[in-house]
Amino acid sequence: MLQQVLVTLIVVLAALFSAWKLMPARRRLQALRALDAWSASHPGLSAWRQRWLKPRIVRAAGVGCDGCAANDSHPPPPR
């Protein structure tokens, strides 16, 4: 029984992950923006939103790959 649950969980996660990666970039951006709009109405999530969501949106919106100079919320590396 436990095995069934575990396996189902893993497979579902894998399927979601694949779908996310294979999604066209614009859809991904739309999904992220929708997520952003939803989390804006929940002030408790603002920390997560700032740290995780916003950089991802900026990166997804930028031209080219993961590097984008507009990604200003990235803190400088520790010394």
Partner 1 sequence: MDAAVESKPESRPLRIALVGVPNCGKTALFNRLTGSRQKVANYPGVTVERREGERATPDGRGLRVLDLPGTYSLNPTTLDEAITRDVLLGRLAGTPAPEVAVCVVDAVHLPIGLRLALEVKRLGVPMVLALNRMDVARRRGVEINIARLSAELGVPVVATVAVRRGGADGLVELLEAARWSTPRAAPAGADAAQMPDQVRALLAAAGYSPPRANPWFARIDALLLHPVAGLLILLAVLFVMFQAVFTWAEAPMDWIKGAMGSLGEYTAAHLPAGPLASLLVNGVIGGAGNVLVFLPQIIILFFFILALEDSGYLPRAAYLLDRLMGFVGLSGRAFIPLLSSHACAIPGIMATRTIPNWRDRLTTIMIAPLMTCSARLPVYLLLIGALIPARHFGPFNQQGLVMFGLYCAGILSAFAVALLLKQFGGARQYSPLMLELPDYQWPHAGNLLLGLWERVKIFLNRVGGIILALMIVLWFLSTYPAPPAGATGPAIQYSFAGQLGALLQHVFGPIGFNWQISIALVPGLAAREIAVGALGTVYSMSTAGDDLAAQLQPVIASSWSLATGCALLAWYVFAPQCLSTLAVVKRETNSWRYPLIMAAYLFALAYFAAFITYRVVGAMSPGGVEL
Q: Which residues bind partner 1 (CB under 8 A)?
A: 3-4, 6-7, 10-11, 14-15, 17-18, 21-22, 24-25, 61-70, 72, 74, 76-79
CB of 39 within 8 A of CB of 45?
A: yes
Most distant CA pair in the chain, distance: 50
Least Å from the CB of residue 51 to partner 1: 16
Least Å from the CB of residue 56 to partner 1: 13
Looking at the Cβ atoms of 49 and 59, the one nearer to partner 1 is: 59
User: Per this entry, what is the length of the chain?
Assistant: 79
Q: Distance between CA 62 and CA 39 in Å, rounded?
A: 22
Least Å from the CB of residue 50 to partner 1: 15
CB of 57 within 8 A of CB of 37?
A: no
